Chains A and B, each alone.
Chain A
């Protein structure tokens, strides 16, 4: 089941620069997308989300872009900070299913170097 794919297992960025994490999906029924951050031995922490009626959502240093025609979304973090080093998961849901089920990507490990 590869409905949500994060093709880059890891990303290394210098502090202060932009981090761009990518996610692709295949299911056209998905209409809500989320990014989660996860530290070792902790649960995923919600970062930012976007509905399919939008193409951009911004919250402080985090911006999510959605390209529905390409079935692609990305998370931009700028400026990147060492504390951003974590695993980032993209997730998607189809609200029409009425259950709240999330499908997760495999995750991208971000390392921000001081």
Chain B
């Protein structure tokens, strides 16, 4: 069964450093998403991406965040200057249409 692949599975970074979280969506999917889950809290929408542009972003997705699809297969989330409160599980997801998401296994980001 096709999978959404996320790397790395765990990233530890110093506060103020830039991090790039990587995702390989399912190949024929057209819609891409990033969500995050702070420990013990709900899964929160960050951003959706379609046709090489952001289609919607949440209040969380401020100027510190950016997304990119640098080639035909990768979808990345960059956090420019990490803060302690950015520590969370970050999930990438993709879908062929506007439902039926497939989520990746997540990247656990720890900011120290």
Give A residues with C-beta under 8 Å from B: 32, 34, 36, 41-46, 49, 89, 91, 93, 95, 97-107
- 20 A-B pairs with CB atoms under 8 Å apart are A32-B99, A41-B108, A43-B6, A43-B91, A44-B43, A44-B103, A45-B103, A89-B42, A95-B98, A97-B56, A99-B98, A100-B55, A100-B99, A101-B33, A101-B45, A101-B48, A104-B44, A104-B45, A105-B42, A106-B41
Task: Tell me the nearest residue of chain A to B41, going by C-beta.
Answer: A106
On whether A99 and B106 interact (CB within 8 A), knowing A34-B99, A46-B100, the answer reads no
B69-106: which residues lie under 8 A (CB-CB) from chain A? 91, 93, 95, 98-106
Find chain A residues with CB under 8 A from B41 CB.
Answer: 106
- Is B109 located at the chain interface by the 8 A CB criterion? no
Find chain B residues with CB under 8 A from A105 CB.
Answer: 42
Contact size range, B: 20 to 34
B98 touching A104, Cβ below 8 Å:
no
- Is B26 located at the chain interface by the 8 A CB criterion? no
How many inter-chain residue pairs (CB < 8 Å) link A and B?
A: 67
CB distance from A27 to the nearest CB of B (A): 14
Question: Per DSSP, are chain B's interface residues mostly helix, strand or loop, or mixed?
Answer: strand
Find chain A residues with CB under 8 A from B104 CB.
Answer: 43
B91 touching A100, Cβ below 8 Å:
no
Give B residues with C-beta under 8 Å from A: 4, 6, 31, 33, 35, 41-45, 48, 50, 55-56, 91, 93, 95, 98-106, 108
CA distance A36 to B99 in the complex (A): 13
CA distance A103 to B46 in the complex (A): 11
A99 touching B48, Cβ below 8 Å:
yes
A100 touching B48, Cβ below 8 Å:
yes
Find chain A residues with CB under 8 A from B48 CB.
Answer: 99-101
Find chain A residues with CB under 8 A from B31 CB.
Answer: 100
CB distance from B28 to the nearest CB of A (A): 16
Task: Tell me the nearest residue of chain B to A32, going by C-beta.
Answer: B99
On whether A102 and B42 interact (CB within 8 A), knowing A42-B106, A43-B4, A97-B56, the answer reads no
